[in-house]
Structure 1
C-alpha cells in the first residue's frame, strides 16, 4: 500500500515534469496543424521518452509540445509500473494531470489501486482520487482520497472501509464527514491509521477537495 500510493504520485510527477522531447509512433494517420502547433494521432499511437524510460500509449492522442497532452484509452508504462485511464489530459501551464472515465494502477509487486477519476497536482506532489476507490492489498474502499507525497500521508474523506493489516481490525466511516488519515513511515510495510486528524493536516489537504 505504501509504495502503491507513493508510486502513483511519483510516476505522474515524473511524467508531468520530464515527458518532453519524446519520439512518436503513429498507428495510422498523423495530422499536424502548423498554425496551432497541434499534432493529432486519430488512430492512436505511442509517445516514447527513451531517456527516462517512459511510454504513453493511447487509442487517440493529441498534443502540443510544452502545452498539453490528451489521450484516450491511455496506458503509461515505466519500470514495471502500469497506469491505465480511459481519458487523460496533461496541462503544462497548471502542471496538472486529469484522469477520467476510470483509472487503474498496478505494478509487478503490488495489487491494483483503482478509482473513477483522479486529479494530480504535479508541483505539489498531491493526488486527488474520487469515486469508487479500491485497493486490493490491504483492503481499502473510499469515495474521496487525497494523497500527499511530500508528507507521506493519505486522507480518506467521507464513507470508507479500511482493513488494518497491522491491528487486524476494520475501520469504517459511515457518513460524509468521517475522515481517516494514513501515515506512511520509512521501512514500514503498511501505514499507521488514525481517525484523529490534526488540524494542520486538514488545513493543508482540505483545499484540494474543492478542485474541479
Structure 2
C-alpha cells in the first residue's frame, strides 16, 4: 500500500504543478489566493497526499476554479495529479458563459484544457436545456461543447449520436441519426444544422456552414 499523509494539519497552502491547493479558509482570504495561478482549489476537509505517486486526494471534495477560463467545479471527491489532470466525482461545473454541467465523473486535462464528463450527466445553458449524453466535453479555450452517445435534449427537443455547440454561433450541429422538433414538425437527417434564433433546421447545409464544427466531430 502506498504511503499516504494527511496534509491538512501540516500546511494551509501548497502549490502542486501549477495547482493552488488551500486548506479551508474564510471566504475573503480564499478569494485572494490563486491570483496568477491556473487553478485555485479549496478543499472541504482533509488533504491526503500519496507519497509514491505525488497525487493528492480530497476525500470530502471541494471547489475548483480555473482563473483563466472562469470554469468552476464543485465535487464530492477530487484527485489531483500535479501538472497533468484533476478528476472529480459527483461534480457540478459552471462555465463563464453560463453553462451548467452535472456529472457522475469528470476529468480536467491540464495540458489540453479540456473537461470530459462521463456516466450520468446533464448540461444546460442559454441555448440548450437538459442535454443528456454518454460523454460530454467542454473545450475551455474556445467554449465549445461536444456531446456524444445517445444524445437527447428537452429544449429544443432533439436526439442524435453527437451534438456540437459553439459559443460564437447561433446554430448547433446534430450529427448521426439526427432528429429535432421545430415549428411543430420533426426534421431528420444524417446531419441537421439548427438555427436557435430562427428555428430553421437544415439537412443540406453547405461545407462553409459546417466547417467550424468539423474539428469537434468524431
TM-score (norm 2): 0.67
1:68 matched to 2:85? The reply is yes
Deviation, structure 1 residue 153: 2.7
Q: Which runs of 5+ in 2 are unaligned?
A: 1-36
1:84 matched to 2:102? The reply is yes
For residues 106 and 202 of structure 1, the distance between their equivalents in structure 2, rounded to whole angstroms, comes to 23
The question of whether the paired residues in 2 share the 8 Å contact of 1:144 and 1:156 is answered with yes
Q: How does 1:1-212 map to 2 (within 5 A)?
A: 20-26=39-45, 29-33=46-50, 37-41=54-58, 43-49=59-65, 54-58=72-76, 60-64=77-81, 67-76=84-93, 82-106=100-124, 111-164=129-182, 167-173=183-189, 178-184=190-196, 188=197, 191-210=199-218
Secondary structure at 1:196's aligned position in 2? Answer: coil
Which of the pair has the greater relative contact order for Cα pairs under 8 Å at 6+ separation? 1
Q: Which one has a larger percent helix, Structure 1 or Structure 2? A: 1
The question of whether the paired residues in 2 share the 8 Å contact of 1:20 and 1:66 is answered with no
Larger Rg: 2
Instruction: Please list the CA deviations of residues 67-122 of structure 1 after superposition, one character each: whole Å capped at 9, or x if unmatched.
Output: 421012222358996421121111121111111113112479x8422111112222
TM-score (norm 1): 0.69
For residues 95 and 163 of structure 2, the distance between their equivalents in structure 1, rounded to whole angstroms, comes to 24
The question of whether the paired residues in 1 share the 8 Å contact of 2:91 and 2:106 is answered with yes
For residues 155 and 181 of structure 2, the distance between their equivalents in structure 1, rounded to whole angstroms, comes to 9
Secondary structure at 1:146's aligned position in 2? Answer: strand
RMSD: 3.2
Cα separation, partners in 2 of 1:116 and 1:31, compared to 1, 3 Å: same
For residues 161 and 93 of structure 1, the distance between their equivalents in structure 2, rounded to whole angstroms, comes to 35
Deviation, structure 1 residue 126: 1.9
